Structure 1
Amino acid sequence: MTDGKHVQRHLLLAIFVLSGFAGLIYQSVWSHYLGLFLGHAAYAQALVLALFMGGMAIGAAWIAKVGTGWRNLLRGYAIVELVIGVLGIGFHTVFTHTVGLGYDVLIPLAGSAAMASVIKWLVAALLILPQTILLGMTFPLMSGGLIRRFPGQEGGLLGGLYFTNSIGAAIGALASVFVLIPAVGLPGTSISAGLLNLLVAALAWWLARAPETAPAPVSHQAAADPGSLRMLRLVLFATAISGAASFVYEIVWIRMLGLAVGSTQHAFELMLASFIAGIALGGLWIRKRADRSPLPLRLAGWMQIAMGLAALASLVLYANAFEWVGWLLGALSPSEGGYALFNLGTGAIAIAIMLPAAFFAGTTLPLFTVVLLRAGFGERSIGRVYAWNTMGSIVGVVAAIHLLIPMLGLKLALCVGALVDMGIGLVLLRHCVDTRPALMRLAAAAAVVFLALGVAITQVQFDPMRLASGVFRHGKSELDPSNRVVFYRDGKTASVSVIATPDGRAGIATNGKIDAGLTLSPDQAPPSDELTMILAAALPLAMHPAPEQIGIIGFGSGLTTHTSLGDPRVQRVETVEIEEAMVQGASLFMPRVHRAYGDPRSAIVIDDAKAWFASRGRQYDIIISEPSNPWVSGVGALFSTEFYEFIPQQLKADGLFVQWVQLYEVDDRLVSSVLNALTPAFGDYAAWLSNGVDLIIIATPGPALPSIDYERVLQGVLGSELAYLGITRPEQLAYRKVADARLLRAMGQLYGAPANSDYYPLLSLEAPRTRFMRRAAGGFTGLPVLRQPVLELLGIRQSLPLDVDLPLPDLFVADQRAVRARHHAQVLKGHAAGAALTPDDRARLGQFLTLVAECPIDGMALSDLEARLVEIAEAMIPHLPPAPLAELWSQSDISTCRAHSPQFDLAMAVVESTSARDPLAMRQAGEAWLSQRNNGSDLETSSAMDETALIGAMSAAAATADWTGLCTLEARFGAQVPPSSYQPSVRALLRALAGSGPADPMGAAAPGRDGCSTFALSP
């Protein structure tokens, strides 16, 4: 081979790396796009893959038939890449317009849900079939073009192409999720892949300028010989079966590893890249051996057996994956660097489990093609083998998701795949047996196959205590031995388990992550999850005057559905759950959730929520969204701009939408991305904290939320449910309200994240990182325990009267603080300290009482008195009503000290006005304190009262909607008052409120913008 031809060959192989890179990006992006349109239910996942693989099979089969007549296959390849690139660049625009036409025109005309589904699938097919058909043509065209230019090297060329295309695909899988989508979103990623195709087309056209030799003629003898035809059928059948088994492995491995490393988008792409990398290395290894092998069909048989044995061996390795993940979590710090290393570690685990079998899978397609080429079937063999392999892959996808995994479970599904692979290997070897020693080797191979299969089935145990452990969250590779897994099932989309604890509680988990927990024993206090699930139903029922039709997204334990049906006004509750095994598992919570299963008004639907609502044509009074955590792959689409624009169309004019948002394993910025997606789509909204970490947002498409009447749910059946939680008074529910529309918009602006979108999926990409780093949205969880009564001044809530009990204070941090505040008040009245006070609390109170009795006029003692006053005031004022606070501050020692110390009198004026929630007095007292500090001689020394006075004055301005005054206060005094470190920064929040504008949500300032920047002020 001349140097020029050698360079040309390597250049052609190199550009096929780029082609594979772009092709995998398309698969990832198109699957996401179509998932948005068709839904993410198991059947939708399978059919999206079937469309993708089916289109490629059609393309390969068509080019196998007509390509032999083309004079320059590489030029044809360049043209195909050019068209793919143009379609990739325009895909987002075509998709959005086509889907809009489907939802707005075609689906409403369907007349039935079945016909609507048919229309949706036809639209989906039209969206991607042209591109997938073209993609299916690329491998046969490039292969045929190279074989014509370099005859006699078929095995090396096919193996090299398989390697380069697959290694490009593996890199593309990683680049799409870790680089491109975070940087430019789905539209930009599709455009980037299209530009790569254009580059590949240009290079291929330039390299195709040299003429190709004529294709090798098809042997008429081979075409007519019955033996050759039998071999043709055997090879095509074998390559189809091999493709099916490979996809069974891939789907089962991804499901298995999801239990160990978490079902995140990052983990999915790492696993996919590991699988494809194994295929690539197999293609690299076989490229020279295929040409040297005297009987490539026999070698293919051995590769099939080796593939099956490697798949069975992966079960043994998988048994250790939970310990490896646990070690990683224990060894790595919860940081950005730790997360990067965790991804590398989980990628290494995926490689160890998947690569051996994938390696052998990468050898088979080149070998099968070489067999047919040597038999004289011509270059058409390339496309035929590729088409049959792809069609087999479709069968593997459908069989794995809909038959093998649900019926047999993950382990046996993989064993079936291995048996099929090894069985076809034995058939191929039997076809090649021509001597007694060869027959003996075949018998030995068969014995090894069945021995390995028997060992895998009987000796490799999938322990539910390990599978349900959720090791990827806390690092423990097994559940506590005192727990019991009372239900475990591998469903179509997830593995579901129910775990019972010795104290009478139980939790239901999806892929090892607990989604809901409740108690089955009436003697046990309910867990925090119960408050969330019950209040998610009770709050909108208290607000809506006539809640007849309710839709619920996510079944969980079934408690929200059960609670909703406790209201006699409700006529029907449709609960949409994507995984049937979840509904089966939750039945173990009976009779605690009996209405969800037994009430005739309850309808449980197994489907994707958005797809179900779109096809129903029904509007609801209430829709409640309680999906799984947003770091789970695909769930982020239920927290997106597009989803929130869709929901109002499913609600009646006075309908209510309820959104659960987790505040754990996530940060304030990501929660703000949800708020900035939700708020523009609704006319009004407000938020409650059910416990310390679960936010419940209620929104309406109408201009204003209806007034809430908590008494509606405190009687009858619903009253019994709430009484079990210790909630019997309206004030207890009202106390959990933490935000109105104005404050939610301000929080969205304060943390400044762009709105989470289907096409720019910030939440899905970043939530896995915040989960690993054990973050919490402290700005949101801190709202009910702000050190100033900001929520009361803004009219969001009121402090609990002293005659109202505090239900289950361990489950709600504000209740804990209220208990603490009441004990502070008792001590100040001269009573003994309660158990809720810590030694530090008692010491501060004692020091305050001593100092106020001594009444220092100035100096360090006066500074200490001010500091203790601020600490005690912040502990009590936000959680006690004005009257008992006024009584405390009027005690004789405090009054005497005020008369002797003007500075202490100014400090007490700040405290008294804040206790009374009197905006005018707060403003005057705060400015008086800050002005005397500003005019004093001790500016070098800050006082604890400074920030209390400034925040009080700014809060008073916010209470009267004096935004100019609020910002003037910050500009005038802010420089001399350093902000404290506690979260959220109240001053920053108040400045954001200044930019959140009037009640009109469309008037909100841009996310991340300081509201005071809208005012032209100077200090």
Structure 2
Amino acid sequence: MHSYSARFFSPSASLFLLIFVLSGFAGLIYQSIWTHYLGLFLGHAAYAQALVLSLFMGGMALGAALVSRYVHAWKNLIKSYAIIEAIIGLLGLVFHAVFVFALDYSYNNVMPSLNNAGLIEAYKWLLASALIIPQTILLGMTFPLMCGGMIRRFPGNDGKTLGGLYFTNSIGAACGVLASTFLLLPLFGLPGAIFTAGVINILVALFAWWLSLGSEPTITPPTTIIKRNPATNKILITVLAATFFSSAASFAYEIIFVRMLSLAVGSTLHAFELMLAAFIAGIALGALWIRSKANATQTPLKIVGILQVLMGLTALLALAIYSEAFSWVSFLIDALSPTENGYKLFNIGTAILAIIIMLPTAFFAGTTLPLFTVALLQTGHGEKSIGKVYAWNTLGAILGVFAAIHLLIPLLGIKLSMLTAAFVDMAIGVVILRIFSEKRSDFFKTFSAITVTLASLAYIAIYVPFDSMRLSSGVYRTGIEQLDPAREVIFYRDGKTSSISVNYNVNTGIIAIATNGKIDAAIQMMDFNIPTFDEPTMVLAATLPLIYKPNAETAAVIGFGSGLTTHTLLAEENLLQVDTIEIEKVMIDGARTFRQMVPRAFDDARSNIVIDDAKSYFSSNQHRYDIIISEPSNPWISGVGALFSQEFYQFIPRFLNKDGIFLQWLQLYEIDEQLVSSVLQAMLPEFADVHAYLANNGDLLLVASQSELALNPQYERVLKGELGRTMEIVGFTKPEQIAFRKIADKRLLRSFSRMYTEFQANSDFYPILSLNAPSTRFQKKSALLLTSLPTMNLPIFEALKIRETPSLNVLMPKYRHLQADIEANEARTIVSFFDKNKSNTELVNLPIELRNWLELMITGNRECWKTTDDYGVFLATTIHQLTTLTVPYVDASGLHKVLHNQDFIKCEDLPEGIPLLLDFVEALAKRDTIETIKIGQYYLLNMDTQPHYLRNLDSFFLVATQLSLISLQDHDSAKEISKQYADKIKFMPEYSIIHSLLLAWLDE
């Protein structure tokens, strides 16, 4: 016995612990990656992770139970462990191929043949379970086998062995979580990550096989006399019941902690994995701490009783300090620069916050399993007890996960759910202390534990409020830890997947609905006040498909939000049914606060609200629609990126009727061009035609179809009747106003995506958005090229045959939702300024800088500066600016008093080159492409001889000439002129962007 005890600290013992670190590392890679895989099949709900966790723990429980039953018959447990690890590894290597085959076969063959929603749902859950249950059963066998093998080889150190293995396995798991998200997924995607885990398992198997060589002592099974001993049976029943409920409470903590912290740090993939790693790390440290104490006590259950009470207390303490989490995140947002490195530091700050709040509770959770197991080993229950305790522990985990998500949080809310879980832990401690009390001092400990439990629960329940003004703040986006006092929270409830809040701004009359603090939709509730920025997005999302598909009868909307999109669709009398699919039921409850503004969404008989995941619902019902509108939440939210993936865009056309219309909303704020390109690369190959519209300065609407879309849709049809009244509310009264929002066709979108190739297409298996969008959100980036397309200096949409430039008599909507609308209306004011038949009173409506510039332009021209060179600089600058302020927004007929007849220039002797510039912009304004090309080519050929004040406009001459060539379909000359002159000139920034976009367009 002594020699084996000494060997516990020998290198061979350390090697056993090392391979268990690697085993835990691979195990949590599986759990993390399986969550992504099965979520693709079952739906991207927040509880998809919980389902995987339950299957994971359930399989492990079964595996542990099998080992506990047969462990005494196996002569070499380490060798058995090696075989199990090898099988797990082989299954990991083939998992991706098996999953893809199963998914394709299910969608193409099984589901259509079942033709029953209930059967299809049952099939999905059974298949999902079948895909991972074999591996989880095998994973469940590894811990008891390794524990039993080491106890045989190093007897007399049961506590140290169990604690050491639990620690190494847990610390490896924590590292696996981080490596999976921050290293393997970005480098290799889902297939590469799970393949890596499989390789690690095989290496562990080989290493364990080598360590298993040689004899392994056997331990005599406990006798039946011990099994029938009432005292030992009492301990067995107590331990198994306690580990079951303790594990349930611990996993409830994990779910509740994640929901709590998501309100402060955001629901990103990175934040979730950091929280999970912090919780597992706490468990590991608890196991490390207890390993040296487990063998030193003869009363491990009494220690467990005390630790259970302390675990509940730390959970309550976490509630007490939780409100400071919002201050901490606010500090991080203010202190860190909005850069990539700043985001990395923000993640570190998030990890620190998770550690402070979660780790103490997780620490005590890590002490219980080793102590429960030691208690049974000390009473002679033998190796079987290891598997039994592990099995009941994992069964408790399943209960905790499902109880937290489906019962506690929806019924009680986050705070009371945490109080309930803490009460369970503390009650376990009190019961254990009471059962095993023998001395008077033990009764005192029990009484003290009861007093502390009740007092702490009462204090937290009464004096630690959950302030909805903080919980709804979205501090992780704004840096503001509490909503403005002008906002009144009129609805707040914790749902199964997220926390929904609705706030009303008493000053502006705006009601906004938010998910985990992130506003999803806002509506102006006061008559005659300016509509919110969200309203044109939701209204256009509904009307654009109706423009392209006027005979539509069925429609589906993914995401309910405020209900305005559904309400707008139902204004179309031809529609027979609109299915609105929302994953979170509480979102519907919160949206009822908008009911007076969106009554059709709730009250129209054609409105069918479905609580389900979109892909799951479509697959189960196999309905085909004329219109499908996808308005999910922002793609930086964990899981949402799958609704912008290549596989999703391959999936959607199966549920569209012939000539059906699919509309995709995509944010252009808190994202960059590279990520937008990854979405376009995913979407464009799957549809025959795609048109793009800007709803406001930050929302892109992509209209797609499997057939060619009409080049000039009948916009006027949505401006009549009830639908027209809804459009008028957000400012649309003329067809040209809707057409003006069009910014791209499929060719231009392809050209844009080719300009930004840092990322490949966003895919379910290579989740570009989920991994990178949280960083662009933190950096407050925007996809500026797309948002600025309609305000470019030249009429690029005319040249590329995307849309016509509106006539002078068409005013854009008066609301300042879109910068191009503002500049188009300013262009009309400028035209009237140069029209002598009109007054200049409208100048007061222009920004002061623009008004001053116009007045200076007229004054400067009237005075005819004495210094010719200075006058040349002034004229070159002002003529160019006048061109860029008017030509992109007004058609040729509307510019005859501005750039056609330039009688505002009074001087007879103009500086050198200015007449050439005037002729060029006049041709450009007239849309006289032949003359524009002629003058432009002359200028470029002789630009070296031009005065310096014109040389600043080299890129203007080049790009305008190139556009004119394109408008004449002379693409070869447009390419050639770029090759000939682009390297010789210094581009102004905006013309550089247009030039790059045109080159990409010409390369089609």
TM class, shorter-chain normalised?
A: over 0.9
Alignment partner of 2:793 out of 787, 795, 807? 787
Q: Which whole-Å deviations, capped at 9, do the CAs of 1:768-810 have from their partners, x for residues lacking one?
A: 0001001111011101111111012212222332322321341
The one-letter amino acid paired with 2:888 is P
Shift of 1:994: 1.3
Say if 2:65 and 2:388, in contact at 8 Å, map to a contact too.
yes
Q: Could you say what the CA RMSD is over the residues aligned between the two structures, in angstroms?
A: 1.8
Say if 2:843 and 2:851, in contact at 8 Å, map to a contact too.
no
2:762 paired residue number: 756
The one-letter amino acid paired with 1:15 is I
The one-letter amino acid paired with 1:835 is V
Query: Structure 2 matches for 1:859-938, cutoff 5 A?
Result: 859-891=869-901, 893=903, 903-934=913-944, 936=945
Say if 2:871 and 2:911, in contact at 8 Å, map to a contact too.
no
Alignment partner of 1:849 out of 835, 848, 858? 858
Query: Structure 2 matches for 1:84-163, cutoff 5 A?
Result: 84-163=88-167
1:568 and 2:573 are equivalent in the alignment: yes
1:987 and 2:995 are equivalent in the alignment: yes
Shift of 1:546: 1.1
Which residues of structure 1 form unaligned runs of 5+? Answer: 998-1019
1:253 paired residue number: 257
1:451 paired residue number: 455
Alignment partner of 1:523 out of 517, 521, 528? 528
Shift of 1:901: 5.9
How far, CA to CA, are the matches of 2:220 and 2:861 in structure 1? 104
Shift of 1:843: 4.1
Which residues of structure 2 form unaligned runs of 5+? Answer: none
Secondary structure in structure 1 of the residue aligned to 2:794: coil
How far, CA to CA, are the matches of 1:792 and 1:890 in structure 2? 19
Say if 2:430 and 2:450, in contact at 8 Å, map to a contact too.
yes
How far, CA to CA, are the matches of 1:901 and 1:369 in structure 2? 95
How far, CA to CA, are the matches of 2:912 and 2:950 in structure 1? 18
Shift of 1:899: 8.4
Secondary structure in structure 2 of the residue aligned to 1:810: coil
1:962 and 2:970 are equivalent in the alignment: yes
The one-letter amino acid paired with 2:210 is W
The one-letter amino acid paired with 2:768 is L
**CA 1:941–1:724: 2 relative to 1, 3 Å:** closer
The one-letter amino acid paired with 1:293 is T
Query: Structure 2 matches for 1:275-290, cutoff 5 A?
Result: 275-290=279-294
How far, CA to CA, are the matches of 2:804 and 2:907 in structure 1? 31
Q: Which whole-Å deviations, capped at 9, do the CAs of 1:70-104 have from their partners, x for residues lacking one?
A: 11111111111111111111111111011111111
Shift of 1:722: 0.8
Query: Structure 2 matches for 1:477-556, cutoff 5 A?
Result: 477-502=481-506, 503-556=508-561
How far, CA to CA, are the matches of 1:250 and 1:628 in structure 2? 24
Say if 1:102 and 1:123, in contact at 8 Å, map to a contact too.
no
TM (norm. structure 2) is: 0.97
Say if 1:544 and 1:706, in contact at 8 Å, map to a contact too.
no
The one-letter amino acid paired with 2:790 is P
Q: Which whole-Å deviations, capped at 9, do the CAs of 1:373-403 have from their partners, x for residues lacking one?
A: 1111111111111111001100111111000
2:736 paired residue number: 731
Alignment partner of 1:468 out of 451, 472, 477? 472
Structure 1 vs Structure 2: percent identity of aligned residues?
Answer: 48
1:835 and 2:839 are equivalent in the alignment: no
Say if 1:488 and 1:496, in contact at 8 Å, map to a contact too.
yes
Query: Structure 2 matches for 1:769-848, cutoff 5 A?
Result: 769-829=775-835, 831-832=839-840, 834-848=843-857
Say if 2:687 and 2:705, in contact at 8 Å, map to a contact too.
yes
The one-letter amino acid paired with 2:811 is D
The one-letter amino acid paired with 1:963 is H
Alignment partner of 1:181 out of 159, 182, 185? 185
Alignment partner of 1:657 out of 646, 654, 662? 662
Shift of 1:821: 1.3
How far, CA to CA, are the matches of 2:806 and 2:115 in structure 1? 53
Q: Which whole-Å deviations, capped at 9, do the CAs of 1:229-281 have from their partners, x for residues lacking one?
A: 22211111111111100111000000000000000000000000000000000
Query: Structure 2 matches for 1:620-659, cutoff 5 A?
Result: 620-659=625-664
How far, CA to CA, are the matches of 2:861 and 2:959 in structure 1? 24
Shift of 1:43: 6.0
The one-letter amino acid paired with 1:418 is A
Shift of 1:851: 5.1
The one-letter amino acid paired with 1:929 is Y
2:623 paired residue number: 618
Stretch moving more, 489-498 or 10-19: 10-19
Query: Structure 2 matches for 1:333-372, cutoff 5 A?
Result: 333-372=337-376
Query: Structure 2 matches for 1:302-321, cutoff 5 A?
Result: 302-321=306-325
Say if 2:530 and 2:815, in contact at 8 Å, map to a contact too.
no
Alignment partner of 2:697 out of 675, 692, 700? 692
Say if 1:625 and 1:659, in contact at 8 Å, map to a contact too.
yes
How far, CA to CA, are the matches of 2:236 and 2:823 in structure 1? 78
Shift of 1:707: 4.9
**CA 1:532–1:341: 2 relative to 1, 3 Å:** same
Secondary structure in structure 2 of the residue aligned to 1:109: helix
Secondary structure in structure 2 of the residue aligned to 1:859: helix
1:971 paired residue number: 979
How far, CA to CA, are the matches of 2:992 and 2:216 in structure 1? 70
Shift of 1:897: 6.1
Shift of 1:979: 2.2
Say if 2:548 and 2:713, in contact at 8 Å, map to a contact too.
yes
How far, CA to CA, are the matches of 1:852 and 1:809 in structure 2? 34
The one-letter amino acid paired with 2:513 is I
**CA 1:684–1:898: 2 relative to 1, 3 Å:** farther
**CA 1:975–1:856: 2 relative to 1, 3 Å:** farther
Q: Which whole-Å deviations, capped at 9, do the CAs of 1:335-361 have from their partners, x for residues lacking one?
A: 112111111111100100000010000
Say if 1:778 and 1:983, in contact at 8 Å, map to a contact too.
no
**CA 1:409–1:118: 2 relative to 1, 3 Å:** same
**CA 1:973–1:399: 2 relative to 1, 3 Å:** same
How far, CA to CA, are the matches of 1:821 and 1:520 in structure 2? 32
The one-letter amino acid paired with 1:736 is R
How far, CA to CA, are the matches of 1:664 and 1:775 in structure 2? 6
The one-letter amino acid paired with 2:278 is S
Secondary structure in structure 1 of the residue aligned to 2:888: helix
Q: Which whole-Å deviations, capped at 9, do the CAs of 1:715-762 have from their partners, x for residues lacking one?
A: 111011011112111011111111111111111111223110011111
Stretch moving more, 708-717 or 481-490: 708-717
How far, CA to CA, are the matches of 1:978 and 1:941 in structure 2? 13
How far, CA to CA, are the matches of 1:768 and 1:645 in structure 2? 25
**CA 1:937–1:564: 2 relative to 1, 3 Å:** closer
Shift of 1:41: 3.2
Shift of 1:875: 1.1
Stretch moving more, 539-548 or 307-316: 539-548
How far, CA to CA, are the matches of 2:951 and 2:992 in structure 1? 21
Shift of 1:330: 0.8
1:62 paired residue number: 66
1:682 and 2:687 are equivalent in the alignment: yes
**CA 1:471–1:678: 2 relative to 1, 3 Å:** same
**CA 1:315–1:767: 2 relative to 1, 3 Å:** same
Alignment partner of 2:45 out of 41, 44, 48? 41
1:587 paired residue number: 592
Secondary structure in structure 2 of the residue aligned to 1:862: helix
How far, CA to CA, are the matches of 2:824 and 2:591 in structure 1? 35
**CA 1:639–1:857: 2 relative to 1, 3 Å:** same
The one-letter amino acid paired with 1:849 is I
How far, CA to CA, are the matches of 1:590 and 1:665 in structure 2? 30
Secondary structure in structure 1 of the residue aligned to 2:119: helix
Say if 1:910 and 1:926, in contact at 8 Å, map to a contact too.
yes
1:212 and 2:212 are equivalent in the alignment: no
Secondary structure in structure 2 of the residue aligned to 1:477: coil
The one-letter amino acid paired with 1:585 is G
Secondary structure in structure 1 of the residue aligned to 2:522: strand
The one-letter amino acid paired with 1:816 is I
How far, CA to CA, are the matches of 2:442 and 2:193 in structure 1? 52
TM (norm. structure 1) is: 0.95
How far, CA to CA, are the matches of 2:910 and 2:459 in structure 1? 89
**CA 1:127–1:907: 2 relative to 1, 3 Å:** same
1:1011 paired residue number: none
Say if 2:679 and 2:762, in contact at 8 Å, map to a contact too.
yes
2:415 paired residue number: 411
